[in-house]
Structure 1
Amino acid sequence: MTKAAELRQKDVAGLEAEVKALQKAHFGLRMQKATQQLTNTSTLRTTRRDIARAKTILAEKQAAK
């Protein structure tokens, strides 16, 4: 789980890369769920919230420019 303080230390390019990586991980988890290979479905919720957290901080940094 990524902390907001860790994300705030990254620059805009780093945050965009983090969002992309999280979305790729979330897609993989969704595919595992669809093929019934995912045992811990709570990871879907945590990755979704991590994506939202990273996007929120990214939007704050872009608005501060």
Structure 2
Amino acid sequence: MKASELRAKDVAALEKEISDLLKAHFGLRMQKATQQLTNHSVIKQTRRDIARARTILTEKKKGAA
């Protein structure tokens, strides 16, 4: 997900997005552990999306305070 798409969301939507990404990341890790995952780069993408969303969430919280 692009940063511009995340910046358009409000704080509650960002928190939900992070929660969804964390669940997806967990599922991908389990698929990797059971050798069902064929495209391992998806894990890296998801991890970076989580970091991107958390960064924007922190920016929004600091801007609102």
**TM-score above 0.5:** yes
- Residue identity over aligned pairs, in percent, reads 69
Q: Which runs of 5+ in 1 are unaligned?
A: none
- Count of residue pairs brought into register by the alignment: 64
Q: Which runs of 5+ in 2 are unaligned?
A: none
Once the two structures are TM-superposed, the CA of residue 24 in structure 1 deviates from its matched residue by 0.3
Aligned counterpart, 1:48 = 47
Task: State the TM-score, normalized to the length of structure 1.
Answer: 0.97
Which digits, 9 at most, give the CA deviation of each residue in 1:3-52, with x for residues without a partner? 00000000000000000000000000000000000000000000000000
AA matched with 2:42:
T
CA RMSD, 1 decimal: 0.3
Aligned counterpart, 1:14 = 13
Query: 4+ residue runs of structure 1 moved beyond 3 angstroms?
Result: none
Task: State the TM-score, normalized to the length of structure 2.
Answer: 0.97
- Hey, what's the Cα distance between the residues in 2 that align with 1:58 and 1:4? 11
